[in-house]
Amino acid sequence: MKPNTTKIALLFLALAWCVVPIFGQQTPDKKDKFKQLYQELPTPNVYRNGAGGPGHRYYQQQADYVMNIRLDDDKQRIYGEETITYTNNSPDVLEYLWIQLDQNHFDDESDTYSTRPSTMSERMTLRQLDGFTPTFDGGDKIEFVKDAAGKDLKYTVVKTMMRIDLPTAIAPGGKYSFKIKWWFNIVDRLKLGGRSGCEYFPDDKNYLYSIAQFFPRMCVYDDIEGWQNKQFLGAGEFTLVFGNYDVSLTVPDDHIVVATGTLQNTKDILSKEQMARFEKAKTEYTTPVVIVTEDEARENEKEKGKGEKTWRFKADNVRDFAFASSRKFIWDAMSVKQSNGTNVLAMSAYPKEANPLWGQFSTKAIAHTLKWYSHYTFDYPYPVAISVEAANGMEYPMICFNNGRVEKDGTYSERTKYGTIGVIIHEVGHNYFPMIVNSDERQWTWMDEGLNSFLQFLAEQQWERDYPSRRGFANSIVPYMKMDKKMLEPIMTNSEQVSQLGNNAYGKPAAALNILRETVMGRELFDHAFKMYANRWKFKHPAPSDFFRTMEDASGIDLDWFWNGWFYTCDNVDIALEDVKWFRPDSKNPDVEKTLVRKEQEKQPRNITSIRNEKEIAKTQEELDPSIRDFYYSYDPLQVTILDKEDYQKYLNGLSDEEKKILGTNKNFYEIKFKNKGGLVMPLILRFDFADGTSKEYRIPAEIWRLNNEEVSKVFVTEKEATQITLDPYLETADVDMENNFFPPKSQQSRFELFKGSNLGPRQTVETGDNPMQKAKKIQAKANGSN
């Protein structure tokens, strides 16, 4: 009779059906922290290879600009006309071109306003009420779009973008030139915000203009997105094409202008004395040369010039153009020598409201930035680097707008000083990321802000040891990472969808990269890989995958677990010393073991019954005859006997010489159980402090979690007895809870503030002396010799 094979097969399938889901559920939970990022990263191709570099068919487009710009100081308006020559280096035929019209986000019907959440409260300011119905006449006013021959081109404005329909498609390798004429009203930045605009100074009735995003600019067309098509809503910055610029800026004849590129007509613009100072600055490497003095700037402020001058600038291989113009500017400069022998002219322009702070530090901060950023990446390739005080913080090729004003008496606090130096380093540093390593800011803010904040941190620490850096230290990001995860987004989130852009795109990536450098990879491997990424992608358009892959490719370290945890999740680091067990091998030597037992017993607490019994026995002993007392009460269970020694000798006789050697080491074995409470796997850094005052460190790679990312045990062997075991003793993993990082446990001190209550009403205040800022200002004033 044949067996019932049908029933057997069904039973096997049923078992398989039961087993597979259970195994499938356990595997991701226990091991998915170390999965490879095959699904998250795009497949390598001919344009971008698997090593993180440009592929053998990598391409990028080029856009060259010739512009004539006029600044109307009476109406606060920009008039412009430009010719754009677009080169199609892609393998694709282009039927139309896309242009960015960034000024359109100031239009009162823009998505910037309409999508901005708003609420009402019982108390509102007039300015808040006015914000519900914007009335500023913003946005680009396009007068015409024509081809090179002057024929009108059909165009369609789509919010902050414009499509130009071409009469004939541009073939691969082809070029196309066209013209645009436009104008717009310059926004008052202090009232309406924004990265570009003007600031009015009521005391002297003058304006300071910091002008950017001011001309219709080509969108990027690349192998990843095709045409860049994300609208500008205000947070996500810019995706731009490299090209050459020839720009003529017509401004009032008493204005000083600084801009992207090199000034072409210096002799027509500057006085003979200013020209001599300018030439001297080119050979000065230590102290900035003042080209336009404060006295000259103050004289300029008194009366407005009635004529105009045209400043002409040229810039090659840049992705953008910006300028600043004002009759208020003081201007200084000095030269910075690069390691390849080239010189860079570092320059600063600032109003008297920023002096003497800016005269003391701005241009020197530029020089410092170029030195250290170049150390970690490549020599600065442009001829000038400019810092402008414009009560702002924003970056463009060769020029950046920064902030840092002094008090009316010329004094400033330490906080203002360090804040000014820090923002200058940061904004000048943006020349490297994204002005040269040209990432897509509209999509991935962290690729420029995060990498730049990390390099800013390194440069600040080179400016001054223990510089009070806001970002970069691993523990500086702890307050953000310990927040409720519902309030967080992964780093790999588009900038317009991030609720805390500063922490998410600046602080967290900077801390992550510092952890990579100090703890995961080590400085040598990290610096080599980071420099490789910078050089592979300078003057090109990298994507996140290119950075991730290059850092692994150049270092030889698989970092997918790190990118996954830090960049793709909202997990945090909270690793606990869950349990510590201390073992010592039993030497079998009664002299040793019974002595140890006695010492341990003496350390142990005793119960109340034993203590009281001992007192009663002692009283009884006093009443007994000495001979009887010695007989009954002399027994000691921990006394070493002849039998104990004989047993020990028999044990030794049965051991080999090697076994006897191991037995005689008398080492300590600590079995430590670690629990991953935060979800983010990290290396284990431990410090053992010993009874003799010495210590020893252990560094265990993150791969210890690869088989179980929830908990793991590890045995540590020491020659000495540990008195304290500390996890993450140097605050290098951003652990959000240090309470569970010690054995024996240590309580973390908290502080509270004492205050004296009062019955004063809500409109009254109590004078309690100088606050810390006022004290700092007084200290600085005294140091500067002011009253």
Give the SS3 label for residue 599. Answer: helix
Q: What is the pLDDT of residue 284?
A: 97
> Which residue did the predictor score with more confidence, 144 or 3?
144
Q: Dihedral of CA 212/217/218/224: which sign? A: positive
The average pLDDT across 405-417 equals 95
Whether the CB-CB separation of 646 and 539 falls below 8 Å is answered with no
Q: What is the pLDDT of residue 641?
A: 84
- The 8-class DSSP code of residue 733 comes to S
- The 8-class DSSP code of residue 437 comes to B
Angle at the Cα of 564 from the Cα atoms of 561 and 565, rounded to 5 degrees: 85
Whether the CB-CB separation of 735 and 741 falls below 8 Å is answered with yes
Q: What is the pLDDT of residue 30?
A: 61
Q: What is the pLDDT of residue 17?
A: 32
| Token digits of residue 320 | 């953008």
Q: Comparing C-alpha atoms, which of 375, 387, 322 is closest to residue 350?
A: 387
| Token digits of residue 782 | 């005294």
The average pLDDT across 102-119 equals 79
State how far the Cα of 739 lies from the Cα of 574, in Å rounded to an integer: 10
State how far the Cα of 101 lies from the Cα of 215, in Å rounded to an integer: 7
Calculate what percentage of the chain has a pLDDT beyond 90. Answer: 70
Confidence of residue 589 (pLDDT cuts 50, 70, 90): confident
Q: Give yes or no for a cis peptide into 468 (omega within 30° of 0).
A: no
The average pLDDT across 86-97 equals 98
Tracing tokens 């002799």 back to the chain, one arrives at: 267
State how far the Cα of 215 lies from the Cα of 259, in Å rounded to an integer: 14
Whether the CB-CB separation of 725 and 746 falls below 8 Å is answered with no
pLDDT digits 0-9 by tens, 688-745 = 999 999 999 999 999 999 999 999 999 999 999 999 999 999 999 999 999 999 999 8
Give the SS3 label for residue 477. Answer: helix
Q: What is the pLDDT of residue 588?
A: 73
User: How remote is the C-alpha of 325 from its chain's centroid?
Assistant: 31
Confidence of residue 131 (pLDDT cuts 50, 70, 90): low
pLDDT digits 0-9 by tens, 62-79 = 999 999 999 999 999 999
Confidence of residue 237 (pLDDT cuts 50, 70, 90): confident
Centre a 10 Å sphere on the Cβ of residue 776 and count the other Cβ atoms it contains: 18
Tracing tokens 């165009």 back to the chain, one arrives at: 155
pTM for this prediction: 0.85
Q: Comparing C-alpha atoms, which of 427, 413, 422, 409 is closest to residue 361?
A: 422
Q: What is the pLDDT of residue 627?
A: 62
Q: Phi, psi (5° rounding) for residue 588?
A: 70, -5
| Token digits of residue 710 | 């929830």
Confidence of residue 785 (pLDDT cuts 50, 70, 90): very low
| Token digits of residue 607 | 């119960």
pLDDT digits 0-9 by tens, 275-288 = 999 999 999 999 99
State how far the Cα of 587 lies from the Cα of 543, in Å rounded to an integer: 61
The average pLDDT across 163-171 equals 98
Q: Which long-range contacts (CB under 8 A, 24 or more apart) does 106-110 make?
A: 106/136, 106/138, 106/139, 106/187, 106/192, 106/194, 107/138, 107/139, 108/133, 108/134, 108/135, 108/136, 108/137, 108/138, 110/138, 110/139, 110/159, 110/160
Q: Give yes or no for a cis peptide into 434 (omega within 30° of 0).
A: yes
Give the SS3 label for residue 66. Answer: strand
Q: What is the pLDDT of residue 580?
A: 94
State how far the Cα of 594 lies from the Cα of 637, in Å rounded to an integer: 9
Q: Comparing C-alpha atoms, which of 454, 441, 657 is closest to residue 542?
A: 441
Q: What is the pLDDT of residue 723?
A: 95
Q: How far is CA 778 from CA 360, 394, 417, 783, in A?
A: 19, 31, 14, 9
Amino acid (one-letter) located at 344: V
State how far the Cα of 448 lies from the Cα of 607, in Å rounded to an integer: 65
Q: Give yes or no for a cis peptide into 585 (omega within 30° of 0).
A: no
Q: What is the pLDDT of residue 623?
A: 65
Whether the CB-CB separation of 421 and 461 falls below 8 Å is answered with no
